[in-house]
């Protein structure tokens, strides 16, 4: 059957008709909202390359948690801006540090909010790498115990999910076994399994103060040309005990999201990262694009590619926009 019998435009004639046949709809529960946590009180520092996103102390983080719940956003993910940094990333597993305190405060105030913590060393090390450094190289095996310690400190503070983003080999196993040994066998691990060495993380490194002081992350994060390798990473992480996997970044890796979705049976998260956010914000500030339409279209694309949930700096705004109607 073909034209003139077949006329796809019949089903596009009105918003009601389009709505009836729409295959992918964004919902508030699709989102996780990232938050940058500092020590101190009453702090709300703007991040220049990420308009509307701030480094915040726990008092302000609590307001964000409340707003997310009101909007129907089920979860937040916390990144720490610690008071001190050293070679071993000690502030990453210090129970008195910003993330640990914010987790406890959020869970006390809003038990129904899911609090995810990013487990990595780069925000906490003086050299800005995601693992221990010796002889100018990032050391894999000696890093694992420190990551496990960080995850355990988050668990003790009350985190609902821990999310390792360091890309060391074997870290899921190290974290899983440490959690299990200490009575946290119920705590899920969301692995940043397919995390690429990406220039799209630039603004985040300003936000978290985590830019590497020498070299880059290409010896541990994935090469952008690879997709079969993503499946290998995911298979490994699932074998080590990951409950959910993430693809990161999202927009330049939609094919990876789709491929991972089709080859696994666990929830797949996608991270709509800082550079993806900053580009839209910058173009919108210049009046070159319609921010609302562009952002919702991108997020719809990420979901259509197969993401079960999306970590996005647009999360709150997207839910507010959706309440006003669809794109």
CA 172/CA 178 separation, integer angstroms: 10
User: Residue 116 CB, nearest distance to ligand PBG (Å)?
Assistant: 11
Residues in a beta bridge with 191: 245
Name the residue nearer to ligand PBG (CB basis): 204 or 314.
204
**Least gap, CB of 303 to ligand PBG (angstroms):** 18
Q: How far is the CB of 184 from ligand PBG (least distance, A)?
A: 22
Quote the CA–CA distance of 34 and 313 in Å, as a whole number: 6
Active-site residue identified among 88, 107, 149, 195: 195
Going by C-alpha positions, the residue among 168, 46, 140, 66 that lies closest to residue 109 is: 66
> Is 101 in the active site?
no
Closest by alpha carbon to 146, among 121, 124, 129, 181? 121
The nearer residue to ligand PBG, 184 or 201, going by C-beta atoms, is: 201
The residue whose Cβ lies closest to ligand PBG is 204
Q: From the candidates 85, 101, 248, 316, give the one annotated as an active-site residue.
A: 248
Residue 97 vs 166, nearer CB to ligand PBG: 166
Q: Which 3 state secondary structure label does DSSP give 56?
A: strand
Q: Least distance from C-beta 167 to ligand PBG, angstroms?
A: 8
Nearer to ligand PBG, 61 or 270 (CB): 270
* Contact in structure between 162 and 117 (CB atoms under 8 Å): yes
85 is an active site residue: no
Interface with ligand PBG (CB under 6 A): 118, 120, 122, 130, 165-166, 201, 204-205, 210, 217, 273-274
- CA gap 161, 181 in Å, rounded: 17
Neighbours of 177 (CB within 10 A): 15
Question: Of the two residues 216 and 297, which places its CB atom closer to ligand PBG in the complex?
Answer: 216
Q: What is the DSSP letter of 222?
A: B
What is d(CA 45, CA 18) in angstroms, rounded to the nearest whole number?
A: 42
Query: Rounded to the nearest whole angstrom, what is the least distance from the CB of residue 17 to ligand PBG in the complex?
Result: 37
Q: Which is nearer to ligand PBG, 58 or 210 (CB)?
A: 210
β partners of residue 118: 163
Least separation in angstroms between residue 266's CB and ligand PBG is 20
Q: Is the dihedral of CA 192, 194, 200, 202 positive or negative?
A: positive
SS3 call for 126:
coil
What is the rounded distance in angstroms from the CA atom of residue 176 to the CA atom of residue 264? 20
Catalytic residues: 195, 248
């Amino acid at each position: 059957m073909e034209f003139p019998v077949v006329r796809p435009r019949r089903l596009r004639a009105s918003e009601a008709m389009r709505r009836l046949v729409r295959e992918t709809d964004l919902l508030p529960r699709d989102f996780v909202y990232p938050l940058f946590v500092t020590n101190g009180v009453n702090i709300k520092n703007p991040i220049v390359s990420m308009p509307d996103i701030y480094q915040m102390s726990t008092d302000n983080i609590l307001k964000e948690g409340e707003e997310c719940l009101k909007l129907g956003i089920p979860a937040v993910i916390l990144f720490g801006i610690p008071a001190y940094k050293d070679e071993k990333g000690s502030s990453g597993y210090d129970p008195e540090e910003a993330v640990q305190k914010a987790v406890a405060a959020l869970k006390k105030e809003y038990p129904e909010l899911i609090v995810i913590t990013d487990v990595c060393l780069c925000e906490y090390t003086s050299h800005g790498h995601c693992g221990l450094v010796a002889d100018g190289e990032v050391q894999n095996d000696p890093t694992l115990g420190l990551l496990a310690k960080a995850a355990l400190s988050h668990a003790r503070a009350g985190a609902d999910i821990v999310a390792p983003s360091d890309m060391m080999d074997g870290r899921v196993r190290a974290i899983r076994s440490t959690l299990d040994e200490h009575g946290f066998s119920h705590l899920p691990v969301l692995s940043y399994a397919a995390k690429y060495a990406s220039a799209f993380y630039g603004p985040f490194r300003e936000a978290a103060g985590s830019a590497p002081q020498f070299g880059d992350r290409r010896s541990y994060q994935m090469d952008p040309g690879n997709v079969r390798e993503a499946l290998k990473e995911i298979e490994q992480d699932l074998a080590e005990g990951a409950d959910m996997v993430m693809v990161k970044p999202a927009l330049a890796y939609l094919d990876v999201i789709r491929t991972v979705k089709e080859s696994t049976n666990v929830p797949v998260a996608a991270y709509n990262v800082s550079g993806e956010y900053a580009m839209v914000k910058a173009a919108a500030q210049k009046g070159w694009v319609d921010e609302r339409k562009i952002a919702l279209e991108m997020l719809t694309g990420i979901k259509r590619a197969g993401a079960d949930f999306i970590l996005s700096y647009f999360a709150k705004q997207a839910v507010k926009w959706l309440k006003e109607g669809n794109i």
